[in-house]
Amino acid sequence: MNFLNELKERGIINNITNDKKVEDFFKKKDKSLYIGFDPTANSLHLGNYVAISILKRFKDNGFKTFAIVGGATGMIGDPSGKTSERVLLNTDIIKKNITSIEKQLKQFSGAEVFNNFEIYKNMNVLDFLRDIGKTINVNHILEREIVKKRLETGISFTEFTYSILQGYDFYYLYKNKNVSLQLGGSDQWGNITAGIDYIRRQEGDNNTACGITLNLLTKSDGTKFGKSEKGAIYLDKNLTSPYEMYQFLINQTDEEIEKLFKFLSFKTLNEIQEINDNHRKEPFKKIAQKELANELISTIHGNEELKKVLKISQCIFNNKIEELTNEELKEAFNSVPNYHTNCTEKNIVELLVESKIVDSKRIARELIDGKSIYVNNKLITSYEFIATKKESYNNEFSLIRKGKKNYFLIIWK
């Protein structure tokens, strides 16, 4: 029960289907739980890490946990939170996504991974209609908020059946894997209750099935956490570099970081409070942002990657970019705009316009006059300055900074 209270104190729990059944689940610890992940991409992202960390918390507290990969439901498309039909992925892409996601779930959550395609692979459409469809009351589905919203714009029969599949998933796991608790985001309430209703119809009112919805982690502007201007912050370092993830976390606002800490950190609430107290004394040092970023990078990518990230960050902050290797330089500026040139040297005004860093020579000159243009961390004060390949980093890259935070990479061929 202390663990349940901790989840509430961290602000993680949104709603509970049945207080008594949930409390019994936490007291007895003799049943299992699960969270589902649909293979909509070939990597999970930082937003998914909230659910992954929940699985790990339960496992660390002695519960048997399952991470369900939606090999079947992923072919259908969850209508939750969508105003229009999803574009269906082809089966080859789904299979590749499943392989990647299963590996990540095993690595990060410690849960037993199960693909729900195993439930349906030998079931034909007539079996589904007779054995499952016959017990589903369409009126109950129509009452769910997910479906109500979509009825205004239209919903296909395919997406209409999504909650039926997720509901049957819960029943299958209840019967075959000793699962009594399903967790999901607050937008999954209708899908979770669909499973509980199906179990009640099959097993009677004395069943132990229950559900908990989790607060969706959103930023102050209402957008989902784990998304940057350039897209999702993926857990796969080949899609999002550890340094890019680090910078994303470092740039979270003070308002957001307190909530993020409670959701994502495995530090105790007292430790988190102490960090936040120290942060408020000197917010410009970003103590809380750095603590959380260090913990997540270390957990997701390992200590060696964290050391590399910290080195890159220190070199950029202290204007010592020349100390970075080619690999580190590429990682540091992987996400910034870049421009390839065949020249070996170029006048700075012409280079700024040609690379589209500025729109005109007039603007280029104004920025130089305003001491806002740097090349390889050197302030440019003359319109006649020549940027050269010879003076670039590793004879390959020149870094142009416009203002305080806008970086551009010139790549000399």
**What does the domain layout of the chain look like in residue ranges?**
2-214, 241-332, 338-412
> 354-375 pLDDT, tens per residue?
999 999 999 999 999 999 999 9
Q: Give Cβ neighbours of residue 82 (< 8 Å, ≥ 6 apart).
A: 150
Confidence of residue 80 (pLDDT cuts 50, 70, 90): low
CATH hierarchy code of domain 338-412: 3.10.290.10
Task: Report the alpha-carbon distance of residue 256 to residue 288 in Å, rounded.
Answer: 10
Q: Is 70 exceeded by the pLDDT of residue 138?
A: yes
Provide the pLDDT for residue 303: 96
Of 183, 193, 179, the closest CA to residue 4 belongs to 183
Confidence of residue 203 (pLDDT cuts 50, 70, 90): very high
Average of per-residue pLDDT across 112-134: 91
Token pair 């939750």 is at which residue?
80
| Amino acid sitting at position 57 | R
Task: Report the alpha-carbon distance of residue 322 to residue 313 in Å, rounded.
Answer: 13
Q: What phi, psi does 389 have (nearest 5°)?
A: -65, -35
CATH hierarchy code of domain 241-332: 1.10.240.10
Q: Is 70 exceeded by the pLDDT of residue 85?
A: no
Q: Is 70 exceeded by the pLDDT of residue 15?
A: yes
User: What CATH homologous superfamily does 2-214 map to?
Assistant: HUPs (3.40.50.620)
Average of per-residue pLDDT across 208-223: 86
Which pTM value belongs to this model?
Answer: 0.84
Provide the pLDDT for residue 327: 82
Q: Is 80 exceeded by the pLDDT of residue 398?
A: yes
| Amino acid sitting at position 411 | I
Buried b (16+ CB within 10 A) or exposed e, 3-42: ebeebeebebbbebbeeebbeebbeeeebbbbbbbbbbbb
Task: Report the alpha-carbon distance of residue 103 to residue 195 in Å, rounded.
Answer: 27
Ranges 279-288, 334-343, 363-372, 382-391: which has the least confidence? 334-343
Buried b (16+ CB within 10 A) or exposed e, 368-403: beeeebbbbeeebeeeebebebeebbeeebbbbbbe
Sign of CA dihedral 365, 370, 371, 375: negative
Confidence of residue 74 (pLDDT cuts 50, 70, 90): confident
Alpha helices in 251-373 (DSSP H): 254-264, 269-281, 287-301, 303-317, 326-332, 348-354, 361-369
Provide the pLDDT for residue 57: 96
Would you state the structure tokens that stand for residue 381, as one six-digit string?
Answer: 């004060």
Q: Is 70 exceeded by the pLDDT of residue 82?
A: no
Q: Helix or strand or coil: residue 150?
A: helix
Average of per-residue pLDDT across 90-95: 90
Provide the pLDDT for residue 190: 84
Token pair 């530090």 is at which residue?
267
Q: Does residue 195 or residue 146 have the better pLDDT?
A: 195
Mean pLDDT of the chain: 90
Provide the pLDDT for residue 42: 93
> 229-286 pLDDT, tens per residue?
678 899 999 999 999 999 999 989 998 999 999 999 999 999 999 999 999 999 999 9
Provide the pLDDT for residue 112: 97
| Amino acid sitting at position 104 | Q
The residue length of the chain stands at 413
Confidence of residue 83 (pLDDT cuts 50, 70, 90): low
Average of per-residue pLDDT across 181-198: 91
> 62-72 pLDDT, tens per residue?
999 999 999 99
Buried b (16+ CB within 10 A) or exposed e, 290-309: bbbbbbbbbbbbeeebbebb
Q: Is 90 exceeded by the pLDDT of residue 156?
A: no
The DSSP code sequence of 64-119 is EEEEEE-TTGGGT---TT-SSPPPPPPHHHHHHHHHHHHHHHHHHH-PEEEETHHH
Q: How far is CA 245 from the centre of its chain?
A: 10
Provide the pLDDT for residue 4: 95
Confidence of residue 84 (pLDDT cuts 50, 70, 90): low
- Residue percentage of the chain with pLDDT more than 90: 67
Q: What phi, psi does 67 have (nearest 5°)?
A: -110, 115
